[in-house]
Chains A and B, each alone.
Chain A
Amino acid sequence: MNIAYQGEHLLPGQLGQFFIILAFGSALFSTISYYFAATSTNKFDDSWQWMGRIGHFINTISVIGVGACLFYIIYNSLFEYYYAWAHSSRTLPVYFIISSFWDGQEGSFWLWGFWQAVLGNILIWKAKSWEKPVMTVLSLAQTLLTSFLLGVEIFGARVGSSPFLLLRQAIDAPIFSRPEYLSFIKDGQGLNPLLQNYWMIIHPPILFLGFASMIVPFAYAVAGLWQKRYKEWIQPAIPYALFAVMVLGTGVIMGSRWAYESLNFGGFWAWDPVENAAFIPWLTLIGAVHVMIVYKNTGQAYFTATFLTLISFVLVLYASFLTRSGVLGDTSVHSFTDLGMFWHLVIDVAVFFIIAIFVVVLRWKELPISKKEEETYSREFWMFVGAVFLALSCLQLIVVTSIPVWNAMFKTHVAPPSNPVTLYNVFQAGFAVVVTLLAGVTQFLKYKKTDTTRFFITSIIYAVFSALITALVVYATGVYHLRFVFTLMAFGAVYSVLANAKVLSDVFKGKTKLAGSAVAHIGFGLIMVGALISAGTSKVISQNDTMDYSADFDKTNNPRENIMIYKNEPVKMGDYTVTYLGDSVSTPNHYFKVDYKRIDAAGKITEEFILKPNSQANRKMGLVSSPDTKHYLFHDLYTHVSMVPIKYQDDEQADGGHGEENDSLNYNPPITHQVKIGDTIPFREGYIVLQSLNKEAHVQNIPLGPNDVAVGATLKIVSHGTTYTTEPVFMIKNGSVFDFARKVDDAGLKLRLSKLTPTKNGDALVDIMVYDQPESKKPYIVMRAIEFPYINFLWTGTVIMVIGFLMSIFRRRKELKTA
């Protein structure tokens, strides 16, 4: 049955698919050519090398072509393509179209492939004698990566998943039997509201550049062993390894910044498998960088350097297996798509793992492993120890995060720890103590041999200083309430900041070589301080202890972190008086205005600001809320709406028409007050003053005859410090009596002028009927507010660390040129 579908744009998809096949083919061609180039014994024949280069150039062009086609499809809302339909929508602003581009697995594979192609070109340009073997490895990685995008059937099994799959091929539904089906598909599924954040435009490219650049040190290590250039590979690989660590680290922290700004778990790090997956290879590669430098300077730790470099890239692939294969299943709050690529991902990990093992085993006897032991008082020994501890910290993350993998492998049924955060925190803090202390102590040691007396004097002086500062910090911030290991971690972090500050001060005396490492270590120390204090001592200030609806809960020591506040009713919360002022809608976001006031003992307002946390009532994903945060220099105040009775957009439109009939349900029975001008009527939340009577009141388009009367009562309403005016109208028209009620929604009132009674002295008595809203009809929000102290240390530490990495990269590159 062949249906001639109408309105489909098949060209961009066919072109894109062609580019995918070309990208895969050219990467394979490049791998083979480079392999022969690398093994060729004829020094004067560079034809294989040129073929490899051409293969890689074609690959680069096709990868860009794939991206262009996919972008065209999403940008033009061509919903006949599954990818555009599933990840985008017409209402999405252009800058978020970029985020929807890498919202799906295919888009993120593309991003990875794009960076790898770019790095390949840089290597062709810069790697010189290393080009052939290094590019063989990189092209192989590129071949495997592009194979994930193929989406073609080979021997009955689909290999990879193409972003150019048509909607009617992806989903089986009866409407696809109609040639004009496309005219029924009005819009795509849209982008998850949580991803509609500016960090989601910049964070994924950085993260994937980090992942992609991990291939370079790996490729150098493999090339070094393969080509028997055992000692040479390390020095040119150092700048690339530093670059990978810097970029991946930045990407990870950007992700945590995004989580902090737009997710509502209340923090920047949750040890979620997705976070761990990106962090795991970072830990091993940062360890690798240190031992590579050790080897370069002393000839020690060759095996550790090689091993950590090799394993880092294998772990990158393992991490992508974890997050993309669906193996995590029930253990993560993230819903991972299982695109049926489980075994494909396993093969990818296995190929590179086997290559790593193979080259090491093959050359084991020839490896330049030093037989001599390091001196105890030498920098290289303690750097080596630090690298091993980084690897151990990584091991702990792997062992715990991989519980579902162990289950799948050993057919067991073990659940992850019920409180994984504590387990991770305690272990990782322990490793952090060792690592930060070593990052400090090694600054006082020299390579090969150190004068021990001097070393002990300086390191102990700095330790005493750090202990004093730590005691102050720990006392002031309340870290001492936590487990003791966190106090030790604070000490380690302070120590590493101080020791490296000393190195930095020596830099100004002319020892410029160590500037990069000192700056990076200071940044790292500050990150540790910031993370520790802000996560350890964050305080929920919306603690709700006032209600005793379910007293039995007190036993379960539940934090009860959410607080319900009615509109315009101030609530005391910590140091603040908090008022929910109202909301505004800017489709699709619903913003809630929450006013914070700090009032001093004298009753004066010392500070006032408004936070606007928002929610989207999304048909597909339920209520999706994003917090708003007030940033101070030394702490942040985070506010997030956890529950709110808002309606879906489509409901709201349907609801607009009626309402009057049921209005009485929305108010308490009225209370009638007989008043004259100047009188005050109290009500539950304020008072009303009858200011004047307006004898020339008009009600919209009701014309008044000569005998008709219309009187308006000008009422001033004061409620919770806000003043409103309104004018209910009483009317006699053609002998009949009407009255027109007025509502003041913000004060929760409905007012009627029901009777006019003239008095003898010419004044009039008026009956005002006051309807107020019962508690149950009053608008409210449920929110949670958290104070994060000193979180800015974390963000500034990151910036400082990146600067340090950049300085180191430049230094190592310069060394390479002079060497």
Chain B
Amino acid sequence: MKKSSIFGIIVIAITIAIVICTYGSASIYGTFTDAQKNSGELHIIGHVDKQKAMQYDARKDANYFSFYMRDTLGKECKVVYTNTKPEDFDSSDKIVLVGHMAGGEFHASHILMKCPSKYKNDKIEVSATKQGSI
């Protein structure tokens, strides 16, 4: 066999390995119900329930943050994130969690935030009086 054919086969094999590994390690988008059935990590898209209490007290535990999130099907679940409360959490609306379910709580390993105020839906801020602040 020619050297270039051998090399060609190796290249094709690596390409296939890349595709298979990508597919194999890819996660899924799911809901809290899926997370309960499934023990692996998955992505859940949802909205933070701002009516319910968020718990973060650095004095008690700087690495414990919990809140409630509603997934796309409307199911709500307590989410625990063992880290500080993310800096722009309050201003974010839609979030994506990566993690797994553990005993009725969803343990998030990452929280991706989409902050509506940052780029889109700009709100015009106007001051009440004309000669107000400089």
**Residues 88-134 of B contacting A (Cβ, < 8 Å):** 88-91, 96, 98-99, 102-103, 107, 109-110, 112-115, 117-120, 122, 124-127, 130, 132-134
CB closest residue in chain B, given A431:
B14
Docked-complex contact A86 and B59, CB < 8 angstroms: no
Docked-complex contact B60 and A549, CB < 8 angstroms: yes
Docked-complex contact A564 and B58, CB < 8 angstroms: yes
Docked-complex contact B126 and A417, CB < 8 angstroms: no
A719 at the A/B interface (Cβ < 8 Å)?
Answer: no
B39 at the A/B interface (Cβ < 8 Å)?
Answer: no
Distance between B58 CB and nearest chain A CB, rounded to angstroms: 5
**Residues of B close to A416: CB separation below 8 A:** 26-27, 43
**Residues of B close to A544: CB separation below 8 A:** 62-63
A556 at the A/B interface (Cβ < 8 Å)?
Answer: yes
B22 at the A/B interface (Cβ < 8 Å)?
Answer: yes
Assembly CA distance A177 to B25 (angstroms): 54
A782 at the A/B interface (Cβ < 8 Å)?
Answer: yes
A697 at the A/B interface (Cβ < 8 Å)?
Answer: no
**Residues of B close to A184: CB separation below 8 A:** 126-127, 130
Distance between A64 CB and nearest chain B CB, rounded to angstroms: 28
- Stretch from A246-254, A586-594, A621-629 that touches the partner: A621-629
Q: Mark B36-58, 1 if CB is under 8 A from A, else 0.
A: 00000111010000000000101
Docked-complex contact A330 and B132, CB < 8 angstroms: no
- Stretch from A149-157, A281-289, A394-402, A451-459 that touches the partner: A394-402
Assembly CA distance A686 to B132 (angstroms): 47
Docked-complex contact A550 and B25, CB < 8 angstroms: no
Docked-complex contact A776 and B63, CB < 8 angstroms: no
User: Which one of A333, A385, A395, A645 contacts B7 once the chains associate, using CB atoms below 8 Å?
Assistant: A385
Assembly CA distance A171 to B121 (angstroms): 9
Docked-complex contact B82 and A553, CB < 8 angstroms: yes
A476 at the A/B interface (Cβ < 8 Å)?
Answer: no
A700 at the A/B interface (Cβ < 8 Å)?
Answer: no
With A335-B114, A392-B15 in contact, is A415–B130 under 8 Å at CB? Answer: no
Docked-complex contact A418 and B27, CB < 8 angstroms: yes
With A563-B62, A621-B88 in contact, is A330–B96 under 8 Å at CB? Answer: yes
How many A residues have CB within 8 A of the partner chain? Answer: 66
Q: How many A-B residue pairs have CB under 8 A?
A: 167
A409 at the A/B interface (Cβ < 8 Å)?
Answer: no
Docked-complex contact B27 and A560, CB < 8 angstroms: no
**Residues 397-424 of A contacting B (Cβ, < 8 Å):** 399-400, 403, 413-419, 423
Assembly CA distance A376 to B7 (angstroms): 12
User: Which one of A415, A552, A780 contacts B29 once the chains associate, using CB atoms below 8 Å?
Assistant: A415
Docked-complex contact B115 and A427, CB < 8 angstroms: no
Q: Mark B15-32, 1 if CB is under 8 A from A, else 0.
A: 100110111011111000
Docked-complex contact A561 and B83, CB < 8 angstroms: yes
Distance between A682 CB and nearest chain B CB, rounded to angstroms: 24
**Residues of B close to A780: CB separation below 8 A:** 58-59
**Residues of A close to B21: CB separation below 8 A:** 423, 427
Docked-complex contact A418 and B58, CB < 8 angstroms: no
Docked-complex contact A185 and B124, CB < 8 angstroms: yes
A642 at the A/B interface (Cβ < 8 Å)?
Answer: yes
**Residues of B close to A388: CB separation below 8 A:** 7, 11
A186 at the A/B interface (Cβ < 8 Å)?
Answer: yes
**Residues of A close to B56: CB separation below 8 A:** 643
A620 at the A/B interface (Cβ < 8 Å)?
Answer: yes
**Residues of B close to A775: CB separation below 8 A:** 59
Among B45, B56, B62, B103: residue with most chain A CB under 10 A:
B62
**Residues of B close to A171: CB separation below 8 A:** 122, 124
How many B residues have CB within 8 A of the partner chain? Answer: 63
CB closest residue in chain A, given B118:
A335
Distance between B44 CB and nearest chain A CB, rounded to angstroms: 10
Assembly CA distance A333 to B122 (angstroms): 19
Docked-complex contact A186 and B127, CB < 8 angstroms: yes
Distance between B78 CB and nearest chain A CB, rounded to angstroms: 13
Q: Mark A625-658, 1 if CB is under 8 A from B, else 0.
A: 1000000000000000011010000000000000
Docked-complex contact A560 and B63, CB < 8 angstroms: yes
**Residues of A close to B42: CB separation below 8 A:** 415, 418
**Residues 760-791 of A contacting B (Cβ, < 8 Å):** 775-776, 780, 782
Distance between A375 CB and nearest chain B CB, rounded to angstroms: 9
Docked-complex contact B19 and A399, CB < 8 angstroms: yes
Docked-complex contact B119 and A330, CB < 8 angstroms: no
**Residues of B close to A187: CB separation below 8 A:** 125
User: Which one of B19, B87, B112 contacts A624 once the chains associate, using CB atoms below 8 Å?
Assistant: B87
**Residues of A close to B25: CB separation below 8 A:** 417, 419, 423
A547 at the A/B interface (Cβ < 8 Å)?
Answer: yes
User: Which one of A373, A381, A782 contacts B62 once the chains associate, using CB atoms below 8 Å?
Assistant: A782
Q: Mark A170-209, 1 if CB is under 8 A from B, else 0.
A: 0101010000000111110100100000000000000000
With A415-B27, A415-B29, A558-B63 in contact, is A189–B14 under 8 Å at CB? Answer: no
Distance between A175 CB and nearest chain B CB, rounded to angstroms: 6
**Residues of A close to B7: CB separation below 8 A:** 385, 388
**Residues of B close to A625: CB separation below 8 A:** 87
Docked-complex contact A776 and B59, CB < 8 angstroms: yes
Assembly CA distance A370 to B134 (angstroms): 73
Docked-complex contact B117 and A392, CB < 8 angstroms: no
Assembly CA distance A381 to B91 (angstroms): 56
**Residues of A close to B120: CB separation below 8 A:** 335, 337
A798 at the A/B interface (Cβ < 8 Å)?
Answer: no
CB closest residue in chain B, given A784:
B84
**Residues of B close to A400: CB separation below 8 A:** 22
Distance between B51 CB and nearest chain A CB, rounded to angstroms: 20
Distance between B28 CB and nearest chain A CB, rounded to angstroms: 5
**Residues of B close to A563: CB separation below 8 A:** 62
Docked-complex contact A622 and B90, CB < 8 angstroms: yes
**Residues of B close to A419: CB separation below 8 A:** 25, 41
Assembly CA distance A387 to B41 (angstroms): 36
Assembly CA distance A251 to B33 (angstroms): 45
Assembly CA distance A423 to B25 (angstroms): 8
**Residues of B close to A547: CB separation below 8 A:** 60-63
A562 at the A/B interface (Cβ < 8 Å)?
Answer: yes
With A564-B59, A564-B62, A620-B117 in contact, is A417–B3 under 8 Å at CB? Answer: no
Assembly CA distance A388 to B11 (angstroms): 8
**Residues of A close to B117: CB separation below 8 A:** 620-621
With A175-B124, A782-B62 in contact, is A330–B45 under 8 Å at CB? Answer: yes
Assembly CA distance A417 to B7 (angstroms): 30
User: Which one of B27, B59, B130 contacts A417 once the chains associate, using CB atoms below 8 Å?
Assistant: B27
**Residues of A close to B98: CB separation below 8 A:** 418
Q: Mark B51-80, 1 if CB is under 8 A from A, else 0.
A: 000001011111110000000000000000
Assembly CA distance A228 to B110 (angstroms): 54
Assembly CA distance A604 to B78 (angstroms): 49
Assembly CA distance A561 to B60 (angstroms): 15
Assembly CA distance A341 to B114 (angstroms): 20
Assembly CA distance A621 to B61 (angstroms): 24
Docked-complex contact B82 and A643, CB < 8 angstroms: no
Assembly CA distance A780 to B60 (angstroms): 12
With A184-B130, A373-B4, A376-B3 in contact, is A414–B28 under 8 Å at CB? Answer: yes
Assembly CA distance A330 to B89 (angstroms): 16
CB closest residue in chain A, given B40:
A418
With A392-B15, A549-B64, A620-B91 in contact, is A413–B133 under 8 Å at CB? Answer: no
5 CB contacts below 8 A, A to B, read A186-B127, A396-B22, A416-B43, A562-B62, A775-B59
Which A-B residue pairs are the 7 nearest by beta carbons?
A622-B88, A418-B41, A549-B61, A558-B82, A415-B27, A564-B62, A415-B43
Instruction: List 6 other contacts, CB 8 Å, given A415-B27, A418-B42, A645-B58.
Output: A184-B130, A388-B11, A396-B22, A417-B26, A560-B63, A642-B87
